[in-house]
A = this chain, B = another copy of it.
Amino acid sequence: MDAAQQLLEIEAIKQLKARYFRLLDTKDFAGWTEVFAPHFDHFMEMEQQEINGPREEFVAFVAERLAGMTTVHHGTMPEIELLSDTKAKGIWAFVDHITPANGPKEDGMVLQGFGHYHETYEKIDGVWRIATQRVTRLRLDITMPEPQ
């Protein structure tokens, strides 16, 4: 692969991850499903929780967990490395904010987290997808605002 092609693949993976964040936060879960490889392995290091199976199971789990919540996820500082024509890995810093959709007036937890995604990507039928994801955290703030 020449330099220009390598850079096109890296840009495509960055845009894949942009869709991951945007479709998650706008709750387009049908579109969000498409960013993952058919089999997806998700692991949260802090919670020692793994979800490993068909991507639809992971999406259903997240959709249920975030019902009634407003989420904001921002990624920065990608370190994408191509391993072959169809395999890549990458690290992203992230911040996420998870709040009740009706704001602090409603009872409910507010979460703010900071950390890194460690991911692998696969190009399947010409399209990059997220195949595995390990989430590490620098910090997780959980607060329970008083109803106003």
For window 1-55 of chain A, which residues contact chain B by CB distance below 8 Å? Answer: 2-8, 10-11, 14-15, 17-19, 21-22, 25-26
Chain A count of residues within 8 A CB distance of the other chain: 38
Task: Please pick, from B4, B11, B74, B77, the residue contacting A10 in the complex, using a CB distance under 8 A.
Answer: B11
Closest to A17 in B: B77
Query: What B residues does A70 contact at CB under 8 A?
Result: 138-139
Establish whether residues B74 and A139, one from each chain, have CB atoms under 8 Å apart when the complex forms. Answer: no
CB of A18 within 8 A of CB of B77, answer: yes
In the assembled complex, the Cα of A17 lies from the Cα of B91 at a distance in Å of 13
What residue of chain B has the Cβ atom nearest to residue A139's Cβ?
A: B70
Binding site for B on A (CB under 8 A): 2-8, 10-11, 14-15, 17-19, 21-22, 25-26, 70-72, 74-79, 91, 93, 95, 97, 99, 103, 114, 116, 138-139, 141
20 sample A-B contacts, Cβ–Cβ < 8 Å, listed by A number:
A3-B8, A4-B4, A6-B8, A14-B77, A15-B79, A18-B79, A21-B93, A22-B77, A22-B79, A22-B91, A22-B116, A26-B138, A70-B138, A71-B138, A74-B74, A74-B76, A74-B77, A74-B95, A97-B114, A99-B139
